[in-house]
Amino acid sequence: MADHFYRQTWVDIDLDAIAYNIKQIKSKLPQQSDIIAVVKADSYGHGSVQVAEKALESGAKMLAVALLEEALELREAGINAPILVLGWVSPSFTSVAAEQDITLTFYQKAWLEEVMNYSFKNKLKLHMKWDTGMGRVGIRSESELTDILHVIKENNNMELTGVYTHFATADEEDLTYFYQQKERFTKLLSSFKEQWQEPVAVHIGNSAASIRFPKEMHNYIRFGISMYGLYPSKAVKNENLIHLKQAFSLHSRLIHVKNVPTHESISYGRTYITNDKEWIGTIPIGYGDGWSRKLQGASVLVDGKRMPIVGRVCMDQMMVRLDREYKVGTEVTLIGEQKNNRIDMDEVADYLGTINYEIPCMINNRVPRRFKG
Ligand SMILES: *Cc1c(COP(=O)(O)O)cnc(C)c1O
């Protein structure tokens, strides 16, 4: 989105916080472990290209996205760093990836056999995904591994450059299952090494695993949520292993302020009735921006103080009860810091009964991102 915008609602992205968070994790990693910056879903709603560039500048060596589209967007922006697509790409589109030097994930024999029918100018780079217990995608057994390695050995248009797995519970207090997955991975890895002599990149850890076990992450970590300054869970946050800075903050301005008499209703359905003469402010954000209707009753910051959202959240606007009169144009902070008070991503997530990951993804691109740093 352009630097200039007309509306009174915006997101600030603190790119220095991204750099800071990368520096924090880097200082915990051993020399042989590098960082893959996970910038899928528009960098978790933070802005894909800007975050990717900052991450690379701050020492990340590779980028990961979910879709081929997301990888192409980065290439079109002139980013030449290695990019790994974590999701499934149809064999019929593999030539696009090969042409743009985009690494794909694979885990199906039939997929490989189909791709072998295509010829590429440059070899298609591939990382193999192992399902050690996430139950999502990946090969699950040693026999599957042996089978698939036979197929890839027979071709010369693809190059196996990495193997990886993903943990289901690395962020939980109870790490029993995490250790089971790690054990399965170790077994598969030793079987793999017996059958495959070429060097490949090995990576297993998301933010949670890499914050907790930085010395056990092999060649790369896949650093997502914590690059944005958010903790993967309360359990990880409470362990105090790393200090992070939240990069995303959401702001708006009062566009109308009025004094409303007692027993008057506010917004659709008359779910809020004034108790007294009350100062009511209107803010130009609503569920059309991804600011959920379920946030009725939550707070925003005005003048560093918490003010409740009253009445239904509309598509483009909502109302808050103010403690006094404020001028039209007064800044409102919905997520982030204002005058030494703050509303964390975690607070909004808790209110909605979800995880912090979902909140910045939810604020859609109708809300412009303003980059700093
Ligand atoms: C999204 C994703 C990550 C990043 O996880 P965080 O918890 O955000 O660090 C890592 N690996 C895979 C396979 C993913 O899909």
Same domain for 257 and 171: no
In this structure, is residue 1 part of a structural domain?
no
Out of 18, 24, 36, 38, give the residue to mutate to test ligand 1, the one with the largest number of ligand atoms within 8 Å of its CB: 38
| 7 within a domain of the structure (yes/no) | no
Domain containing 170 equals 15-238
The answer, yes or no, to whether any atom of ligand 1 lies below 6 A from the CB of 206, is yes
Per the domain annotation, does 354 fall within a domain? Answer: no
> For ligand 1, is residue 356 a contact (CB within 6 Å)?
no
Q: Are residues 218 and 70 in the same domain?
A: yes
125 touches 90 (CB < 8 A)? no
Same structural domain, 223 and 254: no
Q: What pairs with residue 337 in β-bridges?
A: 342
269 & 332 share domain: yes
Residue 303 lies in a domain: yes
Q: Is 245 noted as a catalytic residue in this protein?
A: no
Domain boundary among 238, 263, 289: 238
Known binding site for substrate: residues?
Answer: 136, 315
Atom of ligand 1 nearest to the CA of 40: 1
Of 184, 136, 167, 165, nearest in space to 232 by CA: 167
Ligand 1 lined by 284 (C-beta under 6 Å): no
Q: How far is the CA of 229 from the centre of ligand 1 (A)?
A: 14
Ligand 1 atom nearest 210 alpha carbon: 9
Same domain for 126 and 41, yes or no, is yes
Residues 33 and 82 in one domain: yes
Same-domain pairing of 233 and 162: yes
3-state secondary structure of 345: helix
- Does ligand 1 have an atom closer than 6 angstroms to the CB of 207? yes
CB of 46 closer than 6 A to ligand 1? no
Q: Do 282 and 228 share a structural domain?
A: no
Mean pLDDT by 10 residues, the chain (373 residues): 80 98 98 97 98 98 98 98 98 97 98 94 97 98 97 92 98 98 98 96 98 98 98 98 98 98 98 98 98 98 98 98 98 97 98 98 97 94
Residue 170 Cβ inside 6 Å of ligand 1? The answer reads no
| CA of 206 relative to ligand 1 center, distance in Å | 5
Q: From the candidates 153, 187, 258, 268, which is the catalytic residue?
A: 268
Q: Is the CB of 224 under 6 A from ligand 1?
A: yes
Cα-flanking dihedrals φ and ψ of residue 46, to 5°? -95, -10
Beta bridge partner(s), residue 184: none
The ligand 1 atom at the shortest distance from the C-alpha of residue 164 is 13
In a domain, 361, yes or no: no
User: Is 167 in the same domain as 253?
Assistant: no
Q: What is the CATH number of the domain that holds 262?
A: 2.40.37.10
Distance 137 CA to ligand 1 centre (A): 13
Residue 262 CA, ligand 1 centroid: distance in Å: 50
Tell me how far the alpha carbon of residue 56 lies from the centroid of ligand 1, in angstroms. 17
Q: Check whether residue 132 and residue 32 sit in a common domain.
A: yes
Radius of gyration of the chain (CA): 24
Q: Which of 206, 230, 345 to mutate to test the pocket of ligand 1 (most atoms within 8 A of CB)?
A: 206
Looking at the fold, whether 150 and 262 belong to one and the same domain comes out as no
* Residue at a domain's end among 213, 238, 263: 238
Q: Residue 366 Cα, ligand 1 centroid: separation in angstroms?
A: 25
Q: Is the C-beta atom of 38 inside 6 A of ligand 1?
A: yes
Q: What pLDDT sits at residue 1?
A: 46
Task: Give the domain-ending residue among 204, 238, 272.
Answer: 238
Domain assignment present for residue 355? The answer is no
Based on the residue annotation, tell me whether 40 is a catalytic residue of this protein. Answer: yes
Tell me, yes or no, whether 277 and 234 share the same domain: no
Cβ 86 under 6 angstroms from ligand 1: yes
Which CATH number is 133's domain given? 3.20.20.10
In a domain, 263, yes or no: yes
Residue 243 is assigned to a structural domain of this protein: no
Counting beta carbons within 10 angstroms of the beta carbon of residue 76, is it exposed (0 to 12), middle (13 to 18) or buried (19 or more)? exposed
Q: What is the pLDDT of residue 122?
A: 93
Q: Which of 36, 165, 218, 222 to mutate to test the pocket of ligand 1 (most atoms within 8 A of CB)?
A: 222
Cβ atoms within 10 Å, residue 200: 17
The reported pLDDT for the residue numbered 258 is 98
The neighbour count for residue 297, using CB atoms within 10 Å, is: 13
Q: How far is CA 367 from CA 74, 114, 286, in A?
A: 21, 42, 10
Per the structure, the count of domains in the chain is: 2
pLDDT value of residue 156: 86
| pLDDT value of residue 3 | 61
